[in-house]
Structure formats: C-alpha cells, structure tokens
Amino acid sequence: MLACVLLHYGAFSMLQRLYAREPRYMPRRILFCVLGLLCVHVAEIWIFGLGYYALLHAADSGALAGADNLLDLVFFSAMVYTTVGFAEITPSGPIRFLTGMEALSGLALIAWSASFTYFQMHNYWRSNLD
C-alpha cells in the first residue's frame, strides 16, 4: 500500500513539473495527465498482483481459489483495485486482509487521480475564459 501511495505521489509531482515547463499547451497536458495516471494505476495493480503472488508462496497466508498464475493474480488485483468484485477468483484465509486494503487503496487513489485531473481541467477552462 505504501509503495502505491508513494508511486502515486511521485507521479503527481512529475506531472506538476511537466505542467510548469509547458504552460501554454494545456490540451496536451490534460492528455498526458490522463494517460500518465492510467499507467500509474496499471503499475499499482501490478504491485498488488505481485504482492498476492508473494503472499501465496508464503506459509499460512491463505489461498485464492481460481488463480493459477501471475496473470490471474493481476486480473484479480484489477478487479479488487477498481472495486468491481472478485469474479471467479475468491480469497480465503489471511490474504483477505490484503484484498480489503487494496480495495480501500484503489478507491482512494482513483479518487485522488480524479480530483487532480479535475483541478488541471478546471485551470484550463478558467484560463480559456479569462
């Protein structure tokens, strides 16, 4: 969770520096913002997927019935991160705690991205009206 929050914060910092260098290309900045944040969310889903993989290979961490390989775990992570639901993979045992933390993290990070993007678009619209 901490790795994802730090990655997200780092992405926002990088986008802010990019915006400071190109103030007049606002439509391109918005596009970079959205595409950049989508890439960050995918990376965060992979971080959690790798976390599931590591936990499943640890003793007494629980199980994910229906997950046979790393890509299944990343798919499961994407479903939990976006709070879509478990689909055909179901957790049991202590690993369920990580699924709850991922859902909470995903919700917070997606909301953070949405508010950041809205702020950037609001600045663009305001500068066009002035």
- Using pLDDT thresholds of 50, 70 and 90, give the confidence band for residue 102: very high
pLDDT in tens, 39-94: 999 999 999 999 999 999 888 889 999 998 999 999 999 999 999 987 789 999 99
Structural domains of the chain, ranges and CATH numbers in brackets: 2-18+34-114 (1.10.287.70)
Would you state the pLDDT for residue 29? 77
CA Rg, the chain, in Å? 18
| Closest C-alpha to 12, from 33, 38, 42, 31 | 33
Q: Residue 82 in contact with residue 110, Cβ under 8 Å?
A: yes
